[in-house]
Structure formats: structure tokens, C-alpha cells
Amino acid sequence: MGIALSVNLNKIALIRNSREGNYPDLIEHARACVSHGANGITVHPRPDQRHVRPGDVLQLAELLKPLPEIEFNVEGNPFAAQRGDYPGLTSLAEATLPDQCTLVPDTDHQLTSDHGFDLTQTADKLLPVIEKLKSLKIRVSLFMDPIPEQIELAKQLGADRIELYTGPYAAAWNSSDPKTLENLYQQHRQAALLASELGLGVNAGHDLNLDNLPRFSTIPGLKEVSIGHALIVDAITLGLAETVKAYKAILEATTRIQKTR
């Protein structure tokens, strides 16, 4: 299999939550993404429940259970406090048994995730979480910056994969500084090579879009990209079916080229 596309549905839930009722229907949009070629569904529940809610995670797990070829990825901060009916990320994972749990060091005060773990500070706290998730046969991915020393620590902690934080790369794509863009690309490339050498799988995500994904998808060893905001924005113009197909086409083209080398 080539590079997998996991569609993050947070923005669909955000729109739904701006009104009473269940419109747009998150589950129907997940079903549509899968039918048009997505390889997985990602959600990132937070304690403030500003978009995906615990009930959504449970429903999505039921939707995807009979579809073993479609991966369910639940992201979040394992240290975020329980609030209301938000039971905490580990409890949600235990209840739904997703294929993958991506641990992210975000806080309630962040608009979105904007940095990877500093494992020199959080390794001791993360270790029992990783061990718990792996005991449930859930693949564990850590949201990481492309820093070699940190990636080595991720391996030591027992993570299965890392998800490279691509926000700075995406921001540089639209800048007038090609040198910075190239440096960031090379940092991610070297980080991916190191991760692969260590036996870690490599995922990536944050602000990847139809413009910057073709270059980034050439990162060696890339297994999965998780894309939400840009994909949902593109769907406003292109429609959801054509948008999912467009992202898939980029990843499939990269896979074909890599196979001929």
C-alpha cells in the first residue's frame, strides 16, 4: 500500500456545533470520505468539545468496525483534564479501540496543535500511557518536531510511529523565502530517514494542502498524512468527492514514481 490519506473531520463537527441539531452529519461525512477513497478517519477530541465530541468518537468506531481496511485514528493530549462528559483520551481509546492513537501536546488554550513533544520533559509521564495503549493493541504515534534527538527518544519510549508536525513547512510554502522552505523540507526528510532507520513508522500532518503536499509526499518512508482543515475548505469549492480524490491522486502519483526508482 502507498501513502494513506486519513481525513480529519474536526471541521465538520465545528460547523455542526455552531447550530442546534446534527447538521452537517459527521457520520455521513465519514462514510462519504471512505466511499470516495480515504484510507482512514482522524478525529481530535478536546475537553472543551468545540468540535468532535466523545459520542462522535463512539459512533465513528462503530461505523468503521466492519471496515478493517479503513483505519481509525484518535488524536489528543493524554494529560488533558476530564471535563463534563469528556472522559479523557485514554478512556476514549479504551472504549473505542482505534487502530491508532496519536498523542499530541496541545492545551485548551491553543487554537490548534502547534508543536511536538519535548520528550526530555514528558517521557516519564508518557511512558505509562504508551504502555497502556499498546497493551490494548493500539498503535501509538507521537506528534513530533523534526528534531533527531527527540525522535530517538520516541523510539526509546516504545512509540510505534511519529507524526511529523508540518505547520512550519506549510507556512514557508507561501513565503518568499525558498531557502527556508528547502531547509524545512530537508529537516523533515532527514527526520523521516532517521525514524525509518530506528524502526519507527512516519506519519505527517498540519496544514498540508493540494499545493504543498506533492513535494512533502516525497519524504522517504511516509506512511500516512492526516489532513483536515485544508481538505474541508477545498471541499467547499470542489465538493467532498472530488476533493478526496484529488488528495488521493497526489499520494498515488508519488507512490508510482517511487516504485519506478
Q: Which of 75, 163, 188, 224 is catalytic?
A: 75
Q: What is the pLDDT of residue 184?
A: 97
Q: Which residues of the chain have pLDDT under 70?
A: 108-114, 261
Residue 121: CATH number of its domain: 3.20.20.70
Q: What is the pLDDT of residue 257?
A: 83
Split into its structural domains, the chain has a count of: 1
What cell was used for 39? 484510507
Q: What is the pLDDT of residue 158?
A: 98
Active site residue 28: no
Active site residue 242: no
Q: What is the pLDDT of residue 109?
A: 63
pTM exceeds 0.75 for this model: yes
Question: Tell me: the pLDDT tens digits for 136-165?
Answer: 999 999 999 999 999 999 999 999 999 999
Q: List the domain range (segments joined by +) for residue 71.
A: 4-260
Q: What is the pLDDT of residue 114?
A: 65
Active site residue 75: yes
Report DSSP letters for 177-225, one per residue. -HHHHHHHHHHHHHHHHHHHHHT-EEEEESS--TTTHHHHTTSTTEEEE
Q: 220 preceded by cis ω (within 30°)?
A: no
Nearest to 53 by CA among 79, 27, 33, 32: 27
Q: Which of 71, 188, 206, 224 is catalytic?
A: 206
Containing 8, the helix (H) or strand (E) segment is strand 4-8
Q: Which of 44, 51, 71, 224 is catalytic?
A: 44
Q: What is the pLDDT of residue 112?
A: 63
Q: Where in 125-171 does DSSP place strands (E)?
A: 139-144, 161-165
